[in-house]
Amino acid sequence: MLSERRLQVLRAIVQDYVGTEEPVGSKALTERHNLGVSPATVRNDMAALEDEGYIAQPHTSAGRIPTDKGYRLFVDKLAGVKPMTAPERRAIQNFLDGAVDLDDVVARTVRLLAQLTRQVAVVQYPSLTRSTVRHVELLSLAPARVMLVLITDTGRVEQRMVDCPAPFGETSLADLRARLNSRVAGRRFTDVPQLVEDLPDGFDPEDRGTVATVLSTLLETLVEENEERLMIGGTANLTRFGHDFPLTIRPVLEALEEQVVLLKLLGETQDPGMTVRIGHENAHEGLNSTSIVSVGYGSGGEAVAKLGVVGPTRMDYPGTMGAVRAVARYVGQILAES
């Protein structure tokens, strides 16, 4: 087990490195943090920390930089979450309050997060899985063509074309619309399949095919839309990455474009609380030198999606975590209101 002072030294190294972006040496450390001991002592502690794998030297005779393991310890034990100041909170709230619809909420959230953290922000659209159906609308566009519109409680709208096997009259359509909504309105997506299972039975035989087609399209929509979408912003902040960055930035940009990858990363943990993935803890290779801070958010306590930021492992964890948490909280409020 590491002594208290060694942990302090690690903390100081992380803080200085994050601030200066340069390997930190023993002398600089004692000058900037009053640890009450001499550089020589700190050197011993550093050697010990290096043995344990918490820090490393980029090359002999250079200062030390934290390893992923070092950051991990820092995040878990040494640093808290830095709360936002009151003015910051007000600014967040004001900025988000102006949103007019769901897209706008998400777009504003992305901008806000990117600005606050000066990193790349990722916001997942509220998931359909845990949300409920507000309404299903059916529109007849042609005798054998129906448009299905699904409206969720989070304000999201999805539409699908349905080509019917047989012509379908307006009255039948109205009938189906009414019955369908009486069954599924207000219900959870996951419950819908059972709820509509026997619905075709109540219809005329010649209409049953069409009803079944519509229903299966509806179910498809529910499933497909679980391949959730997300919005990304602040990629310009990647340019602050590092000195060597042409090599670093490319795979990151590529990974960010692969939304599937990000969704997988975000979804990896069910825990709606704050998650920090550091460097190689990220399964995706392109993100091995980045850290991802994410947290669930949602209306009324229950998390329906995640948001977070992607940045260099050398990031201000307490500040970033504070910003992410605060934004998630306010977005949840906004969603609950609307």
Residues near DNA, by CB under 7 A: 5, 23-28, 36-41, 43-44, 46-47, 50, 57, 59-64
Q: 305, 228 in Cβ contact below 8 A?
A: yes
Stretch that binds a copy of itself, among 36-44, 53-61, 97-105, 305-313 (CB under 8 A): 97-105
Q: 252, 291 in Cβ contact below 8 A?
A: no
Contacts of a copy of itself in 60-79 (CB under 8 A): none
CA distance 64 to 40: 15
Q: Are strands 230-233 and 275-278 parallel, antiparallel or unpaired?
A: unpaired
Compute the half-sphere exposure of residue 12: CA atoms within 13 Å on the CB side of its CA.
Answer: 23
Look up residue 324 and give its amino acid: V
CA distance 41 to 59: 21
- According to the binding rule CB under 8 A, does residue 3 interact with a copy of itself? no
Q: Are strands 230-233 and 157-163 parallel, antiparallel or unpaired?
A: unpaired
From the list 269, 148, 268, 158, the residue with the least C-alpha distance to 217 is 148
Interior angle at CA 246, CA 244 and CA 249, nearest 5: 100
- According to the binding rule CB under 8 A, does residue 142 interact with a copy of itself? no
CA 37, 42, 44, 48 dihedral sign is positive
- According to the binding rule CB under 8 A, does residue 186 interact with a copy of itself? no
For DNA, give the closer residue by CB, 43 or 187. 43
Contacts of a copy of itself in 213-242 (CB under 8 A): 224, 229, 233-236, 238-239
Question: 161 is in the binding site of which of a copy of itself, DNA, none (Cβ under 5 to 8 A by kind)?
Answer: a copy of itself
Q: How far is the CB of 68 from a copy of itself (least distance, A)?
A: 24
- According to the binding rule CB under 8 A, does residue 141 interact with a copy of itself? yes
Question: 60 is in the binding site of which of DNA, a copy of itself, none (Cβ under 5 to 8 A by kind)?
Answer: DNA
For DNA, give the closer residue by CB, 8 or 131. 8
Among 130, 245, 274, 281, binds a copy of itself (CB under 8 A): 245
Q: Are strands 275-278 and 290-297 parallel, antiparallel or unpaired?
A: antiparallel
- Could you list the residues that contact a copy of itself (CB under 8 A)? 100-101, 103, 134-135, 137, 139, 141, 147, 149, 151, 155, 157, 159-161, 224, 229, 233-236, 238-239, 245-246, 249-250, 253-254, 256-257, 338
